[in-house]
């Protein structure tokens, strides 16, 4: 019998332009982001950095040459909240959990009570195919504290094509005013990842700690 489970897939850095994101990676992390491409129908594009384990860091921006998206873009890129956050530089805005264990794992999880990313759509980039759980207006979930879900439908994961970057994730902290509800939702997703920690905070906060060629870096 298949057992549905989830684990950290990637963390998301939003930038006003992909060129700004590439410069940020070089100056902040000491490495060049590579790979990535355009997302059909979403009018976004990205570049990536491999982290430790089967995880990566995504730098994403609105693609100015792609026209209007078919529906609201992911990670709140269309919202005033995120646009304000990234006005002065790239910021950590979200994280994504990978669903495994059943062909319809993401559909089952996205229909969970109290989980607002309940619209599952297919997406593509080059020969990669996946399904992704969107919120109705593309907004982040609980200010980025709760994960979006992804289920890869192509046999190759992006990490298998990324070079070693020398950047590793030490911790991803999920700060929530009601940490018990965050923990309960992650438990309902059978989420297991030693790098992800839930903590109490006055307002929703997402913080990643990385080891990089330039030393330890804290992203928030």
Q: What is the pLDDT of residues 45-61, one digit of tens each?
A: 999 999 998 999 999 99
The answer to whether residue 35 scores a pLDDT higher than 90 is no
- Domain 5-163 superfamily per CATH: 2,3-Dihydroxybiphenyl 1,2-Dioxygenase, domain 1 (3.10.180.10)
Portion of the chain with pLDDT greater than 70, in percent: 99
- Residue 180 to residue 130: CA distance in whole angstroms: 30
Q: What are the φ/ψ torsions at residue 84 (nearest 5 degrees)? A: -70, -40
**Adjacent-strand bridge partners of 131:** 122, 151
When pLDDT is cut at 50, 70 and 90, the band that residue 1 belongs to is very low
Instruction: Give the burial string for 98-121 (b: 16+ CB within 10 Å, else e).
Output: bbbebeebbbebbeeeebbbbebe
What does the DSSP 8-state code read for residue 53? Answer: S
- Residue 151 to residue 116: CA distance in whole angstroms: 17
| 117 token code pair | 């990313």
Residue with tokens 């530089």: 89
| 165 token code pair | 């970057």
CB 61 within 8 A of CB 16: yes
- Give the number of other Cβ atoms within 10 Å of residue 2's Cβ: 10
Q: What is the pLDDT of residues 144-168, one digit of tens each?
A: 999 999 999 999 999 999 999 999 9
- Residue 210 to residue 167: CA distance in whole angstroms: 7
Q: Count Cα atoms within 13 angstroms, Cβ side, for 179.
A: 12
Portion of the chain with pLDDT greater than 90, in percent: 91
| 139 token code pair | 């907004």
What does the DSSP 8-state code read for residue 26? Answer: I
Q: What is the pLDDT of residues 79-116, one digit of tens each?
A: 999 999 999 999 999 999 999 999 999 999 999 988 99
Closest by Cα among 22, 28, 29 to 47: 22
Determine the pLDDT at residue 127. 85
| 80 token code pair | 């005033």
Determine the pLDDT at residue 114. 87
Q: What is the mean pLDDT of residues 168-178?
A: 96
Determine the pLDDT at residue 2. 63
């Amino acid at each position: 019998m298949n057992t549905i489970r989830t684990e950290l897939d990637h963390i998301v850095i939003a930038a006003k332009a992909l060129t700004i994101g590439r410069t940020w990676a070089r100056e902040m992390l000491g490495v060049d982001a590579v790979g990535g491409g355009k997302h059909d129908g979403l009018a976004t594009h990205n570049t990536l950095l491999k982290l430790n384990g089967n995880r990566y860091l995504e730098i994403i921006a609105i693609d100015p040459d792609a026209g209007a998206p078919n529906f609201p873009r992911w990670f709140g890129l269309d919202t005033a909240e995120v646009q304000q956050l990234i006005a002065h530089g790239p910021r950590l805005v979200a994280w994504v959990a990978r669903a495994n264990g059943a062909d319809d794992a993401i559909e089952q999880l996205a229909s969970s009570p109290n989980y607002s990313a309940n619209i599952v759509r297919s997406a593509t980039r080059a020969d990669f195919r996946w399904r992704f759980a969107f919120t109705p207006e593309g907004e982040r979930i609980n200010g980025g504290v709760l994960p979006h879900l992804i289920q890869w439908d192509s046999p190759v994961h992006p990490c298998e094509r990324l070079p070693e970057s020398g950047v590793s994730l030490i911790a991803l902290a999920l700060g929530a005013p009601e940490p018990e509800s965050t923990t309960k939702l992650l438990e309902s997703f059978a989420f297991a990842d030693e790098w992800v920690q839930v903590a109490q905070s006055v307002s929703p906060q997402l913080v990643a700690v990385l080891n990089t060629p330039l030393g330890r870096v804290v992203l928030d």
